């Protein structure tokens, strides 16, 4: 009886440990960005100045090594006066701090991405080994919101 209980405990522990390791390693590119662009403590104040938000968007992170991370349909993209706010929906936001990427750190270029077709690649000055890929339609929305924000501010 005790041996069976111990085997179950070890089996569940190994399963949970493997799942935790996979989830944590999958967040490595996002974590690199969060070291420089974390919006952690600023979120309550950013919510009030968030000019526009769009939920259930897709962002792909590439760079640093092989493969990529696709956050398909789980990203909330916000346009603020300081930059672009990226947050993942719960429960995916575990190990993924919200990001506030300043406009001045973004270098944007059109790119044909395998899964999207027409898209745009953001290369960030502070973390050059990780690039963000957004589809053409989302990039157009961001540009439109930034233009509206500039008109509203002036």
User: What is the three-class DSSP state of 5?
Assistant: helix
What is the pLDDT at residue 52? 80
Reading the chain (154 residues) residue by residue, the pLDDT tens digits are 788 888 877 887 877 777 676 666 666 788 888 888 887 655 544 444 677 888 888 888 888 677 777 788 888 899 888 888 988 888 777 778 888 988 888 888 888 777 667 888 898 888 878 888 888 888 888 888 888 777 766 6
What is the pLDDT at residue 64? 67
Confirm whether 37 is domain-assigned: yes
Closest Cα partner for 60 from 4, 98, 3, 114? Answer: 114
Q: What is the rounded end-to-end Cα distance, in angstroms, of the chain?
A: 74
User: Which pTM does this prediction carry?
Assistant: 0.75
Confirm whether 32 is domain-assigned: yes
What is the pLDDT at residue 45? 46
What is the pLDDT at residue 125? 87
Give residue 143's domain range. 28-153
Confirm whether 8 is domain-assigned: no
Confirm whether 62 is domain-assigned: yes
Using CA atoms, how far residue 105 sits from 16, 98, 135, in Å, is 38, 17, 19
Confirm whether 132 is domain-assigned: yes
State the CATH number of the domain containing residue 36: 2.30.29.30
Taking 3-state DSSP, the helix, strand and coil percentages for the chain, each rounded to the nearest 5, stand at: 45, 35, 20
Confirm whether 38 is domain-assigned: yes
Confirm whether 67 is domain-assigned: yes
């Amino acid at each position: 009886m005790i041996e069976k209980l111990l085997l179950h405990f070890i089996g569940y522990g190994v399963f949970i440990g493997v799942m935790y390791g996979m989830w944590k390693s999958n967040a490595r590119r996002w974590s690199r960005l969060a070291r420089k662009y974390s919006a952690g403590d600023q979120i309550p104040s950013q919510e009030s100045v968030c000019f526009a938000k769009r939920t259930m968007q897709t962002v792909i992170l590439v760079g640093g090594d092989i493969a990529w991370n696709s956050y398909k349909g789980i990203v909330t993209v916000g346009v603020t006066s300081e930059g672009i706010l990226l947050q993942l929906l719960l429960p995916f936001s575990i190990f993924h701090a919200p990001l506030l990427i300043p406009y001045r750190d973004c270098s944007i270029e059109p790119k044909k991405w395998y899964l999207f077709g027409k898209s745009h690649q953001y290369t960030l000055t502070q973390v050059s080994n990780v690039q963000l890929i957004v589809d053409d339609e989302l990039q157009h929305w961001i540009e439109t919101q930034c233009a509206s924000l500039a008109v509203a501010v002036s």
